[in-house]
């Protein structure tokens, strides 16, 4: 068994967010499809199908409790043709707990610098990581993300072509210092 196939018991989120609930619902749907593919060989199919539908419905209700229009808004945010205005409205209306929607908006190529700046302080690191890589992020937002002492976002900002050259150079020299320190520590062993 591959290590990635094993459950991660060290992952302890502080709350159930849309990112987690949506993932659970997608996995349950995949199990349902798998059961249907082998229905002729499976004697408990009806009971298990009913149980899976119940769990899927519960996850959908949980998603809609966080954001009453979750599925439709996620679909809009994932649309390659979504306009900057549509994405701005979605970001403005999204509850802070809708981490999946906000992460999706933060990675969309049409999201404006203003929306990215507003989302840069979000508690979900994947939202901030998407902003640190985003080609439309402005210099002030990238500087803010790069200066966060509790994260490694500076590394992503250093590779972002949208970052001002002086910022990228400063961050790359930081990378060199980290590498040189690691090389020295490794050589001492």
Contact 96, 68 (CB under 8 A): no
In a domain, 3, yes or no: no
Residue 166: Cβ within 10 Å count: 9
pLDDT tens digit string along 146-169?
Answer: 998 888 999 999 999 999 999 999
Half-sphere CA count of 42, side-chain side, radius 13 A: 13
Domain range for 42: 11-66
Q: Averaged over 73-86, what is the pLDDT?
A: 98
In a domain, 141, yes or no: yes
> How many distinct structural domains can be found in the chain?
2
| Whole-structure pTM value | 0.82
| pLDDT at site 1 | 43
Residues 97 and 154 occupy one common structural domain: yes
Distance CA(53)–CA(32), nearest Å, equals 8
In a domain, 102, yes or no: yes
Residues 97 and 170 occupy one common structural domain: yes
pLDDT tens digit string along 23-61?
Answer: 999 999 999 998 888 766 667 788 888 999 999 999 999
Rounded (10°) angle between helices 18-37 and 45-66? 160
């Amino acid at each position: 068994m591959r290590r990635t196939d094993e459950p991660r018991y060290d992952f302890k989120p502080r709350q159930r967010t849309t990112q987690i609930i949506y993932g659970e619902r997608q996995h349950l749907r995949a199990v349902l499809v798998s059961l249907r593919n082998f229905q002729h060989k499976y004697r408990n199919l009806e009971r298990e199908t009913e149980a899976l539908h119940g769990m899927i419905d519960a996850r959908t209700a949980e998603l809609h409790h966080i954001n009453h229009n979750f599925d439709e808004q996620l679909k809009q945010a994932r649309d390659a043709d979504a306009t900057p205005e549509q994405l701005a409205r979605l970001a403005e209306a999204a509850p802070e707990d809708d981490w999946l929607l906000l992460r999706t908006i933060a990675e969309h190529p049409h999201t404006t610098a203003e929306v990215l700046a507003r989302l840069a302080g979000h508690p979900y690191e994947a939202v901030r990581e998407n902003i640190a890589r985003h080609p439309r992020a402005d210099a002030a937002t990238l500087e803010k993300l790069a200066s966060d002492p509790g994260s490694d976002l500076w590394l992503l900002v250093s590779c972002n072509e949208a970052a001002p050259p002086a910022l990228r150079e400063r961050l790359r020299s930081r990378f060199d210092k980290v590498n040189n320190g690691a090389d020295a520590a490794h050589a001492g062993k």
